[in-house]
A and B are shown apart, each in its own frame.
Chain A
Amino acid sequence: MSETPDRVPEEPRGTSGATSGPAPDTEPAISLRGLTKTFGDFTAVDGIDLDVPRGQIFGFLGPNGSGKTTTIRMLTGTLRPKAGQARVLGVDVVRHPDRVKRRIGYMSQKFALFEDMTVEENLRFYAGVYDLDPQVFAAQREYVLRMADLVGREDELTRNLSVGWRQRLALGAATIHEPELLFLDEPTSGVDPVARRQFWDLLYDLASRGVTLFVTTHYMDEAAHCNRLAFIYRGRIIADGSPAEIRADHMEQRIFDITTRYADAVLPQLENDPEIEEAYLSGASLHAVVSASSTLTDASLRQRLVAAGCPDTVVAEVDPSIEDVFVNLVARQR
């Protein structure tokens, strides 16, 4: 990866007392203090504090409507916060959005390509927007076409590409200017599992080259791919840390995984059981949460369910997944 020409002067940081010059890369990629945004009476983002270290894949998780997109829009300088501080790559993005825009990339779930333009034209447009010089563009174009597996299809209209290719091309367009920080807002929604897997490989590749990735998703399995996570719920951050830390700090309960043909009957059974704190669907099976002090075991829980008229039920105690942690965190908030 060639060096991004950094024409944007770093903001002088008077308080640090350091000698002037470019801000050290030691400052977090993103640093938020008390960031708040309201729409009328509705508080979309409620005073969040967050630090995202450089060079990591940071997962920003939360259900729909919890404030993920609003946060991203404030971080990309397209939405003004009501209160609080937001520093992106060492720059106060509220006061100087233009100093940041050249150094960040953004890709949304809509894969905002111009559908009535060709692959080549889309790339040329975004390269032009960032004023890439022709040699840099030639190299980047080459790289993106190979990465998106679109060599030889440069003159196809993007509307004719299938979703996996569109997604990779959108990623290429969003990174054509080699941003230091890339925001991805639910980049994999509506994409099949194979394409999702391939897409995450590309994200790892970017991260390995030093790009910081800020990814929102509501696919909990994707959370495990991240170096660090933050959970946002109703505009507040309810947990953050590495996946292991989050599991350790927020999940003292035990989890049973229940595979059954009678999920419709078993789920109410579990919900009514006083020993079980929480029961929910998880993928193809059911998860039941019990307190750490519970005496329930695989066998005793299975016994109960069989006795209740659900034979062929398999019960196994499992390590909590990120999804389990999240469901429990949300349940506790209610």
Chain B
Amino acid sequence: MSARRIRLLIWKEFTQLRRDPLLIRLLLVMPVLQLILFGYVVAVDIRNLATAVVDLDQTSTSRKLEAAFSGSGYFTITQTPATEDDLRPLLDRGTVKVALVIPEGTQDRLDRGETAPIGIIVDGSDSQISAVGSGYASQIIAQFNADRMTEQGVSVTAPGIDAQVRVMFNPTLDPVNTMIPGLIAAIMMISLMAIMSQAVVKERESGTLEQMFVTPIHATEYLIGKLTPYAALATAQMLLVAAGGLFWFRVPFNGNFWVVLVGLALFMLTCIGLGLLVSLVSRTRHQAQQAVMFIMIPTMVLSGFIFPIQSMPAIIQPLTNLIPLTWALEVLRGAFVKGSGFEALAVPMIVLAGFAVVIFGASIVATRRRIAE
């Protein structure tokens, strides 16, 4: 092993990268584009839900409740039909996604100390909106009750409007808060797997790999020289996403920096291993691209990055455990959103370590053997 030769190989790799301006632009644009896609496009729908209010009570309480909804930022009251019958067409046409019905006598009931039922109707045709919308609504009502009670000096056990749902950890239910930690891991996986495997296969295609192994360069030196630049690039991309998330989207970070670092390091080894395995089975860059797609599509669909695992069919759910990204997401989201430490994340950490040992280890052994062939 010669540190000088490793430095030379790293210099060579960066020189070659510099000559590919399209790739460099892609490497920078991709994280920014994904930040925008996952940060804004996914987030916008859930805010400012078009809401109809049917206020049959017309009291100060009902108006206060309306104000609580419109003031929350999640609901924008766009329609105020006079009767419940007028609601149906609005929901059918999709003019509103949520409707709030305050029956006549709500204030009277509350004043009498009774439970006052109100109606919240959510358009269930979009499962995400319905889940999130009803969640927000329940929260607003809970808050409303609490405020009312403190105002009146009533004990908490006194009846009020019935609300049972609590959303923990991510009180605003802002999807950006779970999306961005996930994006950090996903970006790393794409970068290391797709771009590094291309670089290795290109070297084999052009014959420079063969040439280098006639020289005193050792397989280990070659591997370190190859992996370091791409690991550095992936790290830069992750920092870009993390900075965008923390400072632009104001994703709260409640966790332990070391948890994130260890989790990402373990996942990085897995990604490097997958990239090397892809380059081992591919003779051409085109094949490598196909192989990366073959891994990326199930990863994106099954890891819970976009679709929640809980909403998948029961038969599919165990499969998600085989996807390394699933566990990386658990660590990152746990650390970002819940502030979980090593103890709470022991299981995903151990699984990630297992993947790292098996996939990275196998790829290094196989690559060395292949090179020696």
Contacts and interface: CB of A to CB of B under 8 A. Distances in A.
B215 A108 contact: no
A110 B211 CA distance: 9
A331 interface: no
Given A102-B216, A130-B216, A121 B211 contact: no
Interface in B248-299: none
Contacts of A128: 4-5, 8
Contacts of B206: 110, 112, 114-115
Interface string A123-135: 0011011110000
A135 B349 CA distance: 53
A112 B216 contact: no
Contacts of A35: none
B168 interface: no
Interface stretch (A73-81, A194-202, A240-248): A73-81
A157 interface: yes
Contacts of B210: 78, 108, 110, 112
B19 interface: yes
Given A125-B12, A129-B5, A129-B8, A112 B211 contact: yes
Nearest to A157: B19
Contact of A116 (B20, B212, B213): B20
Nearest to A78: B213
Contacts, number: 64
Which size bracket describes the interface of A in this complex? 20 to 34
A128 B4 CA distance: 8
Given A79-B373, A110-B207, A114-B16, A129 B217 contact: yes
A117 interface: yes
A80 B372 CA distance: 8
A104 interface: yes
Interface string A85-128: 00000000000001001101110101111111100010001101
Nearest to A110: B207
A105 B213 CA distance: 11
A110 B209 CA distance: 11
B207 A108 contact: yes
A106 B211 contact: yes
A110 B214 CA distance: 14
A134 B312 CA distance: 63
Contacts of B208: 112-114
A112 B5 contact: no
A129 B15 contact: no
A101 B15 contact: no
Interface string B142-163: 0000000000000000000000
- The CB with the most chain A CB atoms within 10 A, among B19, B212, B213, B214, is that of B214
Q: Which of B208, B372, B373 lies at the interface centre, i.e. has the most chain A CB atoms within 10 A of its CB?
A: B208
Contacts of A115: 206
B20 A117 contact: no
- Best-surrounded residue of B4, B212, B216 (most CB of chain A within 10 A): B216
**Secondary structure at chain B's binding surface: helix, strand, loop or mixed?**
helix
A129 B214 contact: no
A80 B214 CA distance: 13
B207 A114 contact: no
A121 B373 contact: no
Nearest to B373: A79
A79 B5 CA distance: 22
B15 A117 contact: yes
Interface in B195-224: 206-208, 210-217
A9 to B, nearest CB: 15
B303 to A, nearest CB: 34
A282 B97 CA distance: 83
A125 B212 CA distance: 10
Contact of A114 (B4, B8, B12, B372): B12
Contacts of A126: 215
Contact of A106 (B4, B5, B19, B214): B214
A115 B203 CA distance: 10
Interface string B1-44: 00011001000100110011000000000000000000000000
Contacts of A114: 12, 16, 206, 208
Given A110-B207, A125-B8, A129-B8, A117 B216 contact: no
Interface in B215-255: 215-217
A104 B8 contact: no
Contacts of A131: 4-5
Contacts of B211: 106, 108, 112, 174
A117 B15 CA distance: 7
A298 to B, nearest CB: 47
A121 B214 CA distance: 19
Contacts of A183: 214
Contacts of B207: 108, 110-112
Nearest to A109: B207
A108 B209 CA distance: 11
A117 B372 contact: no
Contacts of A78: 210, 213-214, 372
Nearest to B218: A98
Given A110-B206, A112-B206, A115-B206, A130 B16 contact: no
Give the interface centre of B20, B215, B217, B372 by most chain A CB atoms within 10 Å. B215
A182 B8 CA distance: 24
Contacts of A98: 216
A150 to B, nearest CB: 18
Interface in A149-204: 157, 174, 183
9 contacts: A76-B214, A78-B213, A101-B215, A104-B214, A111-B207, A112-B207, A112-B210, A114-B12, A129-B215
Interface of A: 76-80, 98, 101-102, 104-106, 108, 110-117, 121, 125-126, 128-131, 157, 174, 183
What 3 A-B pairs come out closest when comparing CB atoms?
Answer: A110-B207, A112-B211, A112-B207
Given A116-B20, A121-B15, A183-B214, 14 more contacts: A78-B210, A78-B372, A101-B216, A108-B211, A110-B206, A114-B206, A116-B19, A117-B15, A117-B19, A121-B12, A128-B5, A129-B212, A129-B215, A131-B5
